[in-house]
């Protein structure tokens, strides 16, 4: 879902549409709709609406979840997207793009809406993000119930709306194992992949170095033909298993997480977290952290801001990336838990493991012992489970 809106043709892109005062340069996979006097380009998916439905109600599109972008060309250029935009956006005097390779561009944060007029004046307006915090407290078990219900309902809505032929690459890690279990639980059809596949097209060949600057695009499959790739993208962060959020939460609550980590040598995250060299940063600056975020609510709001602006997979060419864990409601639920209840998730991913166990406890034996270490050591367990599932469905 890469594009550049500029006055002229941008030859980095294989598709270039010149419309009045602007040119829409884009990768493959976009659809064009001519509605009234406007031309709308659309790409991605909504959980509840087709792209043509979104295009026909352009100004309500950003109330829907999913991962999509709509660009409307009339006497102005306007960009809209799913609730809590799933892709980065930057702009300069004559360009609005998510394929940037220069520091001259300014960030358009997730709460910035961009419009371009016919004189190439670019304006940004603030939009309200879905970051209201619930006030009730939850136990870890109640939080797991809520998250399980959120995800299963979302997957069922998504499959009803899009009828996708999903491919799921199992990385050996916790997020793709959770996604496997949820797809199995909801009887969603998918094809399991255990080998990497990356078919280059004109766009990926020309922009190889720019794409590699986005770390998530070093970890992606790509097919030239229209395909759906189900990914565990955002699971690490939105399920509070990422060091930056863990460091903020524990330091603010006067917990020396690095000390706990050293006492938990058998935990799932121990090896990879030991490589993270910034644990002491927030701990040392503990007092400053409390000054910056004087209340727990202000700290939680900052965490939501960090997560909403942490863009990962937003489609590539004809490969659409299905990212069900890119859902801020997951983080909101976890923020209702006490810090003590969250520590097992920080160290060992216990809440995520409990969600997998609800579907089938034996699936946990397919998980690698440590995150990002010998990740395929137990892959035979998953292959056997998938084969048995496939055989049952064909009988």
Structural domain spans, the chain: 3-126, 140-394
Q: Which of 316, 326, 321, 30 is nearest to 167 (CA)?
A: 321
Residue 395 has a pLDDT of 59
**Global confidence as pTM:** 0.94
Q: Which CATH number fits domain 3-126: 3.40.190.10, 3.40.640.10, 3.40.1350.10, 3.60.20.10?
A: 3.60.20.10
Residue with tokens 């520091």: 103
Pairing of strands 122-126, 112-116: antiparallel
Residue 394 has a pLDDT of 67
Q: Give residues with Cβ within 8 angstroms of 376, minimum separation 6.
A: 172, 194, 368
Residues present in the chain in total: 395
Tokens standing for 350? 């216990």
From CA 147, how far away is CA 151, in angstroms rounded?
A: 6
Contact status, residue 97 vs residue 74, Cβ threshold 8 Å:
no
CA 371 to chain centre: 19
Alpha carbon distances (Å) from 105 to 22, 92, 135, 286, 310: 18, 5, 38, 33, 18
Residue with tokens 């799921």: 168
Residue 279 has a pLDDT of 84
Residue 104 has a pLDDT of 83
Q: What does the pLDDT profile of the chain (395 residues) look like in tens digits?
A: 999 999 999 999 999 999 989 999 999 999 999 999 999 999 999 999 999 999 999 999 999 999 999 999 999 999 999 999 999 999 999 999 999 876 688 999 999 999 999 999 999 999 988 888 988 999 999 999 999 999 999 999 999 999 999 999 998 899 999 999 999 999 999 999 999 999 999 999 999 999 988 888 988 999 999 999 999 999 999 999 999 999 999 999 999 999 999 999 999 999 999 988 888 887 878 888 999 999 999 999 999 999 999 999 999 999 999 999 999 999 999 999 999 999 999 999 999 999 999 999 999 999 999 998 888 889 999 999 999 888 777 65
Tokens standing for 102? 């220069």
Residue with tokens 């995800």: 151
């Amino acid at each position: 879902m890469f594009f550049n809106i500029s006055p002229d043709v941008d030859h980095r892109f294989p598709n270039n549409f010149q419309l009045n005062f602007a040119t829409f340069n884009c990768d493959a996979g976009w659809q064009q709709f001519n509605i009234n006097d406007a031309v709308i380009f659309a790409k991605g998916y909504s959980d509840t609406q087709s792209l043509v439905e979104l295009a026909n109600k352009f100004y309500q599109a950003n109330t829907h979840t999913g991962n999509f972008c709509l660009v409307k060309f009339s006497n102005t250029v306007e960009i809209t997207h799913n609730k809590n935009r799933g892709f980065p956006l930057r702009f300069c005097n004559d360009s609005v793009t998510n394929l940037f390779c220069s520091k001259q561009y300014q960030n358009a944060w997730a709460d910035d809406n961009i419009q371009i007029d016919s004189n190439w004046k670019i304006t940004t307006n603030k939009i309200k993000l879905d970051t209201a915090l619930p006030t009730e407290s939850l136990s870890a078990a109640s939080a797991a119930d809520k998250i399980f219900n959120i995800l299963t309902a979302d997957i069922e809505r998504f499959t009803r709306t899009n009828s996708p032929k999903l491919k799921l690459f199992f990385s050996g890690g916790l997020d793709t194992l959770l996604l496997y279990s949820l797809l199995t639980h909801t009887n969603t059809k998918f094809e399991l992949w255990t080998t990497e596949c990356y078919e280059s097209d004109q766009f990926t060949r020309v922009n190889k170095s720019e794409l590699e600057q986005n770390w998530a695009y070093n970890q992606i499959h790509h097919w030239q033909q229209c395909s759906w790739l189900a990914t565990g993208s955002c699971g690490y962060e939105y399920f509070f298993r990422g060091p930056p959020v863990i460091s903020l939460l524990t330091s603010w609550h006067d917990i020396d997480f690095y000390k706990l980590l050293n006492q938990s040598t058998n935990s799932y995250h121990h090896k990879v977290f030991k490589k993270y060299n910034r644990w002491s940063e927030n701990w040392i600056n503990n007092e400053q952290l409390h000054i910056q975020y004087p209340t727990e609510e202000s700290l939680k709001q900052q965490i939501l801001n960090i997560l909403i602006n942490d863009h990962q997979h937003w489609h590539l060419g004809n490969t659409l990336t299905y990212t069900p864990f890119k859902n801020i409601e997951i983080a909101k639920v976890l923020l209702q838990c006490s810090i003590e209840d969250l520590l097992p998730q920080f160290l060992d991913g216990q809440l995520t493991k409990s969600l997998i166990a609800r579907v089938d406890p034996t699936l946990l034996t397919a998980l690698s012992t440590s995150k990002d270490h010998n990740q395929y050591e137990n892959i035979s367990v998953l292959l056997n489970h998938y084969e048995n599932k496939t055989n049952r469905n064909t009988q």
